[in-house]
């Protein structure tokens, strides 16, 4: 993580720097649970919640692996995996800010 931007990870994909906000949905959900307690979720809400948490964890795992092999011949393949998983996360969350996403999800009747 970068000291200037806590919670952000800087990666370089083909000379373009991309800031990936690490675990922002998971961290926000954690704060909500600490403040409000465990929400009563429908099956659909629970599945969506677990999908978001899983995708963020996968992205962070790929980023950590990429950092270890930086400069290796096939490290670009991990950039592509980060991109694909990031797209899935953006689609799942409708690319909404974490506060808006969780409020909408937790207040919906699914």
Q: Where are the domains of the chain?
A: 22-107
- Residue 22 falls in which region: left (phi positive, over 0), alpha (psi -120 to 50) or beta: beta
Q: What is the pLDDT of residue 20?
A: 53
Residue 92 has pLDDT above 80, yes or no: yes
98 to 64, 78, 85, 101, 105: CA distances (angstroms):
23, 25, 17, 5, 10
3-class SS of residue 103: helix
Contacts of 13 (CB under 8 A, 6+ apart): 76, 79, 82, 83
- Residue 72 falls in which region: left (phi positive, over 0), alpha (psi -120 to 50) or beta: beta
Average pLDDT over residues 7-21: 50
Which is more confident, 8 or 94? Answer: 94
């Amino acid at each position: 993580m970068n000291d200037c931007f806590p919670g952000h990870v800087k990666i370089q994909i083909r000379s373009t720097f991309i800031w990936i906000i690490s675990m922002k949905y998971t961290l926000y959900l954690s704060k909500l649970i600490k403040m409000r307690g465990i929400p009563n979720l429908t099956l659909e809400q629970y599945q969506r919640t677990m999908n978001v948490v899983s995708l963020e964890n996968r992205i962070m795992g790929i980023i950590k692996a990429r950092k270890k092999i930086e400069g290796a011949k096939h490290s670009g393949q991990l950039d592509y995996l980060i991109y694909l998983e990031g797209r899935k996360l953006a689609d799942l969350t409708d690319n909404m800010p974490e506060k808006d996403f969780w409020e909408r999800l937790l207040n919906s009747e699914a």
